[in-house]
Amino acid sequence: MTETFDPRGLASSLHSLRRAARQEETSTFSLPADLHQAMEAQNFLAAADGISSNAWKVTVSPQAQAVTAPLHPYVEAVSGANIPWYPGLKFETEIAVRLGKDLPIRSGVPYNRAEVVEAISAVYLGAELLVSAVRESGGVSFLLFLADRLGNSGYVLGPKLDNSAVDTAGGTPLKVTYAGRTIYDGPARHPKGDVLTWLVDYANDGLRPETSLKAGALITTGTLSGAIELSEPGEIDILLGDSRLSFSVSQA
């Protein structure tokens, strides 16, 4: 007899593990069978976490399905922000965009990049923090990882950039120092080359919620520095071109 999937139960397990700063192996969880079940569990987890910010991350599954998850805790600060540190915490430098108008679901001709750019009202330097309650993250079950908010465990929104940064971020000098040592020093590089690739994919996803990609939403677009593990609490300073973001991760 096939076990009935319980999205609320999975969300409760993930929530408890996150609160205790613990991880469990994929085999210990009841796994969602499809995207719908994974998003059901993610929504219950977001409710348990009390997430109210209209800030999101976008990426794609191994099957090239565009997916999203809320960013939490979310803080807007050029400097002085603080995010809890947990063992296994990772850090990514990112570009975030705020929508100035809706990108409603539409059939027929898909959105092109220029239309998505035209909908963007502001561009920012940001930093995402990641640690999953799933020990393997998405390595065994991407759907479980999706339910666990794609591993997001915090986001710091930094200074505004010129809107042209969505075209020019790749190759821009990027230096990151952490606890007094340099952990990245080189050109900014997005996994897809174009920072807007996953956002365009998501805009064209007919399965996304009707409430998604509304004016005012903030979307972070993927790492420019790779994912770097933070082995201890400390101060982080990011310099992308001439723009700077500083914040700290502290013992929870």
196-225 residue pLDDT tens: 999 999 999 998 999 999 999 999 999 999
Which of 40-49, 71-80, 152-161 has the lowest average pLDDT?
A: 71-80
Confidence grade of residue 2 (pLDDT, cut at 50, 70, 90): very low
Spatial separation of the C-alpha atoms in residues 17 and 34, rounded to whole Å: 23
Fold of 53-251: Fumarylacetoacetate hydrolase; domain 2 (3.90.850)
> In a 3-state reduction of DSSP, which class is residue 90?
strand
Q: Which of 229, 220, 198, 235 is nearest to 81 (CA)?
A: 235
Q: What is the pLDDT of residue 79?
A: 67
Per-chain mean pLDDT for the chain: 94
Q: Which of 68, 69, 72, 96 is nearest to 84 (CA)?
A: 72
Mean pLDDT of 164-176: 97
* Domain locations along the chain: 53-251
Share of the chain above pLDDT 90, in %: 90
CA-based max dimension of the chain: 60
In this structure, which amino acid lies at residue 144?
L
> In a 3-state reduction of DSSP, which class is residue 234?
strand
Please say if the pLDDT value at position 1 is more than 50: no
Please say if the pLDDT value at position 128 is more than 50: yes
Q: Which of 244, 240, 58, 86 is nearest to 154 (CA)?
A: 86
- Predicted TM-score (pTM) of the model is 0.94
Mean pLDDT of 174-203: 96
pLDDT tens per residue, range 54-113? 999 999 999 999 999 999 999 988 767 889 998 999 999 999 999 999 999 998 899 999
Q: Does residue 221 contact residue 97 with C-beta atoms inside 8 Å?
A: yes
Mean pLDDT of 29-54: 95
Q: Does residue 208 contact residue 65 with C-beta atoms inside 8 Å?
A: no
Q: What is the pLDDT of residue 77?
A: 80
Mean pLDDT of 155-180: 96
Q: What is the pLDDT of residue 3?
A: 67
Please say if the pLDDT value at position 251 is more than 80: yes
